[in-house]
Structure 1
Amino acid sequence: MRDKFKVKSQETFEDFKISTSKRIFDIVFSVFAIAILTPVWLLAMIFIKLESRGPVFYVARRVGTGYDIFDFYKLRSMYLGSDEKRAELSELNQYLIDQYKSGKSFSKHDKCTDCERLGKPCSPILHIDGVKICENQYLKRKRDQTNSITFFKIKNDPRLTKTGKIIRNFNIDEIPQFVNVIKGDMSIVGNRPLPLYEAEKLTDDQWALRFLAPAGITGLWQVRQNTTPKLSSESRKSLDNQYVLNSSFWGDIKLILKTIPAIFKSQRS
């Protein structure tokens, strides 16, 4: 039995069950994909092993349907210990950078309530993009901005190995997830399963809806990301909810067909 991610007491999720037709399709598609992609899979494993120390497979806990937690499989694309470096690289989060570029940043020199309470003038004063701001206020806003971003993505991630960059560009590292599909952890199409640190930010009524869909290898967000690379964190969450409300078997087939061209593009979600 899978573990359950702890959410607020008022939020309850009945066990989600996919339709029989979708489940049969998932199994047949996954078996066929593994059979076809095995040579690519084996070649990637050899290069991973030759380039850097560590296991060939990356196994991590992910939150899927109904907040179920399961072991998520990928080919390892990063150096060992990369997960522990995530906090150090938070300033490089592409979602945070895009939010800053969109203008949702520092616009004026508000009074710093902390300095005001102490009866002291703001010091030191920083000049950020032509705006004067108290260092204390600046650090507080930066912290709030970071905490408000749900997802984590780095462009040109320094933690990637050379082989890792290649297999990520062509989504080869995702091949082991067909095993997750056969096991019943995931579906071919659905909302991406999330790391625990991302899922814990999506437990309110507005965004918890996304967990009523199966966890998927591909989905509406990935397809939309291919045509609109700079989707915001809010847009991604909205697309996940949209999939839950409008999903269908034939809709899934369309998403799969739209996903195939994206596999051969270097732009990675």
Structure 2
Amino acid sequence: MEQTLTATTPIIAIVGFEDDQLSVFINCDFKDRYIMQFANGIKMVSAWQTDNLHIVAIISFSEIMAPGGIPLIEALKKKGLPEVPFFLVVNHLNTNLSKLALAAGITDAFKLPLNPVKIEKKVNFLIDNQSKLNNISQPKRANIKGIGIAKRAFDLFFAGTALLVLSPLFLIIYLMIKLESKGPAFYYALRVGSGYQIFKFYKFRSMYVNADARLKDLKHLNQYNIDAANEKEPAVLNHGLCNDCRAYNKCQYPLFADGIEWCEKDFRTEKKSTSNSAFFKIKNDPRITRIGNFIRNTSIDELPQLWNVIIGDMSIVGNRPLPLYEAEKLTTDKYVLRFSAPAGITGLWQVEKRGKGEMSEEERLMLDNKYAQSHSLKYDLKLILRTIPALLQKESV
């Protein structure tokens, strides 16, 4: 830590750790490598690019699906930064999450509490042998059936035309949202799409900005978890953070909009039982605004995703991209198939079951798998024609 930093000094970037957590790394012998602390991945990437740092390894304190995990790996790839050993320090780890992390490019994950000797040996070995390791093929993701030139051309034409034609409606909805409640009209959240790729998912805001604060009081209404009503509510935690996030002293699964940040899910119940439903949906949800209820029932809230189609994150038809906390529960062989299909605005389960009564989580996942096995442009056109009647259903979704 006391050595002089030069342009050629090899740096080990320590991301997301507080000052009092650095002692474990300071006590390690990383040879001639300099330890540099960063508050988060964004600041690390910015310094790496602007200061032309010689970073040779990254150690990030984050859960695998949280912003400092796979999303950070994806951001480094998109920025074209050098590929270096990437280590995670996590609270939660299992076999399926480990496979997902390795497939995404994470070199290794350490579960708390940390062992300095193990960290020192692994980090030094993997940095010293990085060139050899680059020649070893990474574990393969789920085989992804490409969308093809015809489907991509259709997506661009359909999304571009829709954005142009619907621009007056966008303006009206924007004004109505702003007039009814405080907060931004648009927001984005991190979502997991085809091949477990993580991207920014855009929507019109349909809930009050503090909607997450009420989620813990509504779990018993979850239509995907009929046994939830019989479960005892956990004790309220201090500082408004769940067990998953308290270790980081900040929310690990945020939503973002115009400088406003709020939590996507109340994690006090998410880790309570591995048998809990991966999905969360409530009928007549009181967190939804009046205009929000209208745009949800007509699927107008989904229209900003046309931009996701334009930039290639999504297709018009596909399996719905999932929040990170849902996707990390669907890494078993039984459900991984759904991630081999394109992420879409509408899809098979929407037209098959929407408005026709309650649908179990198992049914939804099976329909996702069915689409992944049979999607094509011809099949998509049929689903688009069936989507319009589905939008006219009476059930509040």
Shorter chain as denominator, the TM-score bin is 0.7 to 0.9
Change (3 A) 1:193 1:90: same
CA distance in 1, matches of 2:286, 2:203: 18
- 1:221-253 alpha-carbon deviations (Å, 9 max, x no partner): 101123632111001011100111111211110
Shift of 1:189: 0.5
Which one of the candidate residues 164, 177, 196 is aligned to 1:48? Answer: 177
User: Please, which of 139, 162, 171 is the counterpart of residue 33 of structure 1?
Assistant: 162
Instruction: Trace 1:139-150 onto structure 2 (pairs within 5 A).
Output: 144=273, 147-150=275-278
Q: CA deviation at 1:84?
A: 4.5
The count of aligned residue pairs is 227
> Residue 59 of structure 1 contacts residue 72 of structure 1 at CA under 8 Å; is this kept in 2?
yes
2:201 aligned residue: 72
Q: Work out whether residues 283 and 396 of structure 2, in 8 Å CA contact, stay in contact via their aligned partners in 1.
A: no
Task: Check if 1:59 corresponds to 2:188.
Answer: yes
Specify which structure has the higher proportion of helix: 1
Pairing partner for 1:172 from 300, 303, 320: 300
The amino acid of 1:159's aligned partner reads R
Query: What is the match of residue 215 of structure 2?
Result: 86
Tell me which residue corresponds to 1:9.
99
User: Matched residue of 1:62: which SS?
Assistant: strand
User: What is aligned with 1:226?
Assistant: 354
- Which aligned pairs between 1:1-269 and structure 2 lie closer than 5 A? 3=71, 7-9=97-99, 12-13=140-141, 16=144, 17-97=146-226, 144=273, 147-226=275-354, 228-269=356-397
Q: Which amino acid aligns with 1:223?
A: V
Partner of 2:117: none
Native 8 Å contact 1:63 1:69 kept in 2: yes
CA RMSD of aligned residues (A): 2.5
Inter-partner Cα distance in structure 1 for 2:217 and 2:192: 23
Distance 1:68 1:49, change over 3 A: same
Indicate if the aligned counterparts of 2:222 and 2:228 stay in contact, CA closer than 8 A: no
Asked if the contact 2:355/2:393 (under 8 Å) is kept, the reply is: no
Question: Structure 2: how far apart are the matches of 1:151 and 1:78?
Answer: 18
Where do 5+ consecutive residues of structure 1 fail to align?
107-142
Q: What is the percentage of aligned positions where both structures have the same residue? A: 51
1:207: Cα distance to partner? 0.4
Residue 354 of structure 2 aligns to a residue in which SS?
helix
Q: Helix, strand or coil for the counterpart of 1:8?
A: helix
Q: In the alignment, residue 47 of structure 1 is paired with which amino acid?
A: M
Tell me the TM-score normalized by structure 1: 0.77
Q: What's the CA shift string for 1:141-173, capped at 9, x where partnerless?
A: xx64x8431111010111101111111111111
Q: Residues 193 and 268 from structure 1, CA distance in 2 versus in 1: closer, same or farther, beyond 3 angstroms? A: farther
Question: Structure 1 residues 68 and 268, CA, compared in 2 at 3 Å: closer, same or farther?
Answer: farther
Q: Which has the higher contact order (CA 8 A, sep 6+)?
A: 1
Amino acid at match of 1:264: L
**Amino acid across the alignment from 1:148:** N
After superposing the two structures, state which structure 1 stretch, 44-53 or 221-230, moved more.
221-230
Q: 1:170·1:266 contact (CA, 8 Å) conserved in 2?
A: no
Q: Is the 8 A contact 1:79 1:160 kept in 2?
A: yes
Is contact 1:188–1:217 with CA below 8 Å preserved after alignment? yes
CA shift digits 1:186-229 (9 cap, x unpaired): 00000000011111110011101100001000000101123632
